[in-house]
Each structure stands twice: as structure tokens, then as C-alpha cells.
Amino acid sequence: MKIELSLHTQDMLKEREISEEWLWRTVNYPDWQNVKGDNVHYFKCITEYGERILHVVVNPNVSPQKVVTVFFDRRERKQK
């Protein structure tokens, strides 16, 4: 599947010091995911970053699909 990064996402990667590799790992190998509205939300525990949960939001309804935003989600916890 072809996915592009929005300009907002590119800015957030830099501003929040999030590795692009972590973003792709989250999208390609999520620990869990869910659909909210029109977007798919991917979650991944990033062990190299204190086991914080990376949250990546993708809009699958455009071609190519687009990453809307990325952030470490303080509300989510590692699922067992």
C-alpha cells in the first residue's frame, strides 16, 4: 500500500523528535489498531523511547493514503 506523509506529519516528526523509522514500524507492524471515523489509528510501543506508545493516524480514503499526524500518546498504555 502506498502511503505519503502530510506536511503536518513531516513537521511533527521534526518538532517532536520522532524517528520516521518508528512511524513506518507502527504503520506496518502495529501492536494494535482501530478505526475512528474515516481514519485508521495505529499504535506501537517504542521500546527505544521508554516504552511510550506511538500513535499514527492514517486517512485511507485518499489515493495515495496519507499519514495525518503522529504523536506519543500519553493516554494509551501497552496492551498485554
The string of pLDDT tens digits covering residues 10-28 is 999 999 999 999 999 999 9
- Cα 80 to Cα 5, 11, 55, 68, 77: the distances in Å are 30, 32, 17, 27, 9
Average pLDDT of the chain is 93
The answer to whether the predicted template modeling score (pTM) of the entire model surpasses 0.85 is yes
Percent of the chain with pLDDT over 70: 94
CA distance 80 to 74: 17
- Which residues lie across from 46 on neighbouring strands? 52
Can you tell me the distance from the alpha carbon of 72 to that of 74, in angstroms, rounded to the nearest whole number?
6
For residue 38, what pLDDT band results from cuts at 50, 70 and 90? very high
At residue 63, the 3 state secondary structure works out as coil
% pLDDT > 90, the chain? 89
